[in-house]
């Protein structure tokens, strides 16, 4: 009888056990790695750049025009999901519900013969307009309609509604009012036979008459409330404040200004303090090509939504804050408790237990040590989160964006044509000048955009007639075609002048690029210079 090998079975078992142990060890190690990553991971800011890269970016000079797609940085409304409650939208289902209620109420026409004049207050008129708009404007979310009003003609009504574009991610509403001509369809129901253009329904727009019966100047947007709140002595003393003195960021590019401002706001939120906001902004010379000088005294509210910022963060205007501070010191023997912080190297974490009424960060060191955003670097980056949600673009500028888009009936394509200094720099962009020449633009546009479409061109090319060849094939629109939207008869002009103590405000370079960019974003087809029009790299040779 053959004897079995007593050592063969234990060897096989040992190999299996060894493999099992190795697999289990690898599993445990991978779980440990994932756990460590999950604990230490911090969601990135919208600018996915390292601190050294940002320092390099902000210490270099900037071009005021479209340097690239991010020449106007995105703000809070660009990073949120659209949030409009379904019940607040005017939909086909909502229209059918309203129509059913009217039918049940037996409110029907007795016949077409007595309908020589359209009854604008008839709910069926509004239903006809709502259905017409839903069919025509596919990119618009309709939020609210006002009752149609009569015009001088028997078959016309003016209608005002509030809306937002589907590409807008904020809850802000815009308005349009148009003139509609009506006919009668089946069972003498109303139907729209013609619709006027953007803001053609002037009778539907609220107008305020003065005592002498004259129509007042255009009313300001009633949804904008950017008045400066006053604290009062009691509220002032109860508060805790974070005050940043001016540093090296002042008169730098707007992108650096925003990056630094959000650092300060983030620190204030972390410390549970009210941030003292200087509403006086210095616009860098790069945004002022005519004077090539820095311009101080620009109002924060020209560029950003102060009303939303007040709602999203605890802030106080610097002017109000300093006045209340002086009043307190004059009327009280005990001065206000203040802690001065002279270096950005004093981290927010070191200030969490400080009970001073005012934490006063002073930025007196030489550049770049005196940049506000240095506070949020290093270890502080793990604790301070920039509140991007709090900073939105100015509603006044966005009203201009909506008006330009609305005049093209929200049905347009766009070219983003980057030229300017880049086209002149043949070392970094050797093909850009030729690739964006009029002949090449026309040839490339034909391949991407249908002929005779509305074509908006967002560009830093200074010569208006540069795009004449495109006009042979498209309905070309440039920002300068809409100058009346910021002229001395415009709402924007009146509202910004009111913020500036009655003095006119220039529609400056930063405003121009911001409006240009936002119209570009709303196009149905968007053709970019880089990746579409030229093979040059966006940041120069060898950077693709």
Domain endpoint, select from 171, 204, 237: 204
pLDDT per residue as tens digits for the range 357-366: 999 999 999 9
Domain limits at 293? 51-67+226-390
Q: Which of 11-15, 158-162, 290-294, 467-471 is the least confident region?
A: 11-15
Is 261 inside any structural domain? yes
Provide the token pair at 256. 């650096």
Q: What angle do CA 196, 199, 205 make, to 5 degrees?
A: 120
Query: Does residue 256 sit in the same domain as residue 327?
Result: yes
Question: Does one domain contain both 498 and 527?
Answer: yes
- CB distance 143 to 163 below 8 Å: yes
Q: How far is CA 196 from the centre of its chain?
A: 29
**381 and 427 inside one domain:** no
Angle at 54 between CA 49 and CA 56, to 5 degrees: 130
Give the count of domains, the chain. Answer: 3
Asked whether the predicted pLDDT for residue 266 surpasses 50, the reply is: yes
The pLDDT confidence band at residue 211, using thresholds 50, 70 and 90, is: very low
> What does the DSSP assignment read for 486-532?
GSTTSHHHHHHHHHTTT------HHHHHHHHHHHHHT-SSEEEIIII
Q: Are residues 248 and 383 both part of a single domain?
A: yes
Domain check: are 56 and 123 in the same one? no
Q: Supply 290's token pair.
A: 């005519």
Which residue bears the tokens 């075609």? Answer: 481
pLDDT band for position 475 (cuts 50, 70, 90): very high
Q: Which pair of tokens denotes residue 374?
A: 């240095």
Dihedral sign computed on CA atoms, order 209, 211, 214, 219: negative
Angle at 140 between CA 206 and CA 474, to 5 degrees: 100
What does the DSSP assignment read for 63-111? Answer: -SS-SSTTSS---GGGSS-----GGGS--HHHHHHHHHHHHHTT---S-
Burial of 138 (0-12, 13-18, 19+ CB in 10 A): exposed
- Whether residue 215 lies inside any domain: the answer is no
Crossing angle (nearest 10°) for helices 254-270 and 51-59: 140
Q: Is residue 72 part of a domain?
A: no
The pLDDT of residue 187 is 74
Collapsed DSSP state (helix, strand, coil) of residue 7: coil
pLDDT tens readout for residues 411-460: 999 999 999 889 999 999 999 999 999 999 999 999 999 999 999 999 98
Boundary residue ending a domain (172, 204, 236): 204
Q: Do 180 and 119 share a domain, yes or no?
A: yes
Q: Which residue has the higher pLDDT, 467 or 66?
A: 467
> 460: exposed, middle or buried (C-beta count within 10 Å: 0-12, 13-18, 19+)?
buried
Please check whether residues 242 and 371 belong to one and the same domain.
yes
Are 392 and 305 contacting, i.e. CB atoms less than 8 angstroms apart? Answer: yes
The confidence score (pLDDT) of residue 115 equals 57
Which residues face 157 on adjacent strands?
Answer: 150, 180
The pairing of strands 475-477 and 526-528 is unpaired
The answer on 238 and 350 residing in a single domain is yes
Confidence (pLDDT) at 105: 67
pTM: 0.81
The residue whose two tokens read 């809306």 is: 163
What percent of the chain shows pLDDT beyond 70? 82
pLDDT at 1 over 90: no
Q: Does residue 28 lie within any of the structural domains?
A: no
In terms of Cα–Cα distance, which of 419, 481, 410, 416 is closest to 445?
Answer: 416
Residue (of 262, 259, 228, 267) closest to 361 by Cα position:
267
335 within some domain: yes
Q: What is the DSSP letter of 149?
A: E
Mean pLDDT of all residues in the chain? Answer: 84
Q: Alpha helix locations (H) across 172-316?
A: 233-238, 254-270, 300-303, 306-312
Indicate whether 402 and 340 sit together in one domain. no
E strands, 166-235, where? Answer: 174-184, 190-195
> Which of 232-246, 269-283, 300-314 has the weakest average pLDDT?
232-246
pLDDT higher at 320 or 291:
320
Give whole-number Cα distances, 360 to 252, 309, 351, 354, in Å. Answer: 22, 21, 11, 12
197: CB partners within 8 A, 6+ apart:
178, 407, 409
Does 271 share its domain with 376? yes
Q: What is the phi/psi pair of residue 176, to 5°?
A: -140, 150
> Is residue 268 a part of any domain in this protein?
yes
For residue 215, what pLDDT is reported? 38
Strand order in 274-277's β-sheet? 315-317, 274-277, 241-244, 358-361, 338-341
Is 195 part of a structural domain of the chain? Answer: yes
Q: Is 96's pLDDT higher than 90?
A: no
* C-alpha angle 274-280-284 in degrees, rounded to nearest 5: 125
Of 365, 390, 415, at which residue does a domain stop? 390
DSSP state of 127: H
What CATH code is carried by the domain that includes residue 57? 3.40.50
Q: What is the band of 66 on the pLDDT scale with cuts at 50, 70, 90?
A: very low
Residue 186 is predicted with a pLDDT of 73
Distance CA(151)–CA(125), nearest Å, equals 14
Same domain, 271 and 296: yes
Closest CA to 65 of 521, 416, 525: 416
Give the separation between CA 397 and CA 419, rounded to whole angstroms.
Answer: 24
Instruction: Yes or no: say if 148 and 159 are a contact pair by the CB < 8 Å rule.
Output: yes
Residues belonging to the chain: 544
Say yes or no: 249 and 270 in one domain. yes
Answer whether residue 367 shows pLDDT above 50.
yes
Instruction: Output the CA angle 199-82-127, nearest 5 degrees.
Output: 45
């Amino acid at each position: 009888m053959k004897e079995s090998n007593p050592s063969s079975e234990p060897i096989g078992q040992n190999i299996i056990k060894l493999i099992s142990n190795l697999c289990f060890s690898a599993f445990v190690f991978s779980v440990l790695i994932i756990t460590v990553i999950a604990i230490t991971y911090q969601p990135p800011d919208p600018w996915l750049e390292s601190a050294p890269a940002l320092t390099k970016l902000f210490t270099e000079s900037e071009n005021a025009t479209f340097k690239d797609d991010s020449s106007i940085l995105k703000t809070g409304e660009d990073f949120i999901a659209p949030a409009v409650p379904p019940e607040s939208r005017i939909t086909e289902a909502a229209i059918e519900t309203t129509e059913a209620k009217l039918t049940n109420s037996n409110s029907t026409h007795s016949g077409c013969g007595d309908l020589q004049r359209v009854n604008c207050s008839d709910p069926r008129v509004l239903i006809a307009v709502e259905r017409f708009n839903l069919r025509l404007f596919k990119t618009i979310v309709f939020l609210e309609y006002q009752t149609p009003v009569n015009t001088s003609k028997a078959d016309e009504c003016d209608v005002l509604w509030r809306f937002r574009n589907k590409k807008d991610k904020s809850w802000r509403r815009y308005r349009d009012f148009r003139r509609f001509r009506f006919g009668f369809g089946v069972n003498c129901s109303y139907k729209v036979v013609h619709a006027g253009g953007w803001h053609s329904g002037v009778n539907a727009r609220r107008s305020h008459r003065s005592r002498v019966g004259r129509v007042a100047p255009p009313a300001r947007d009633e949804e904008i409330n950017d008045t400066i709140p006053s604290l009062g002595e009691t509220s002032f003393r109860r508060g805790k404040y974070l005050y940043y003195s001016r540093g090296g960021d002042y008169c730098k590019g707007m992108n650096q200004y925003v990056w630094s401002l959000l650092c300060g706001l983030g620190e204030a939120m972390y410390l549970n303090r009210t941030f003292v906001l200087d509403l006086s902004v210095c616009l860098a010379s790069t945004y002022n090509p005519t004077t090539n000088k820095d311009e101080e005294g620009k109002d924060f509210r020209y560029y950003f939504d102060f009303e939303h910022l007040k709602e999203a963060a605890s802030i106080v205007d610097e002017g109000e804050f300093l006045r209340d501070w002086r009043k307190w010191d004059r009327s009280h023997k005990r001065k206000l408790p203040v802690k001065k912080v002279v270096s950005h190297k004093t981290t927010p974490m070191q200030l969490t237990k400080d009970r001073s009424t005012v934490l006063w960060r002073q930025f007196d060191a030489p550049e770049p040590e005196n940049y506000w955003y240095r506070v949020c670097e290093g270890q502080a980056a793990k604790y301070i989160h920039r509140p991007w949600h709090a900073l939105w673009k100015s509603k006044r500028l966005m009203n201009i964006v909506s008006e330009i888009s609305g005049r093209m009936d929200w049905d347009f394509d766009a070219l983003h044509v980057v030229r300017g200094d880049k086209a002149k720099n043949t070392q970094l962009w050797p093909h850009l000048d030729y690739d964006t020449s009029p002949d090449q633009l026309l040839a490339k546009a034909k391949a991407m955009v249908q002929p005779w479409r509305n074509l908006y061109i967002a560009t830093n090319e200074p010569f208006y007639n540069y795009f004449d060849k495109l006009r042979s094939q498209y309905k070309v629109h440039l920002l300068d075609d809409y100058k009346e939207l910021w002229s001395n008869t415009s709402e924007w002009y009146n509202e910004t002048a009111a913020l500036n103590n009655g003095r006119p405000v220039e529609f400056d370079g930063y405003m121009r690029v911001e409006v240009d960019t936002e119209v570009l974003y709303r196009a149905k087809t968007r053709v970019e210079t880089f990746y579409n029009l030229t093979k040059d790299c966006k940041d120069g040779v060898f950077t693709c």
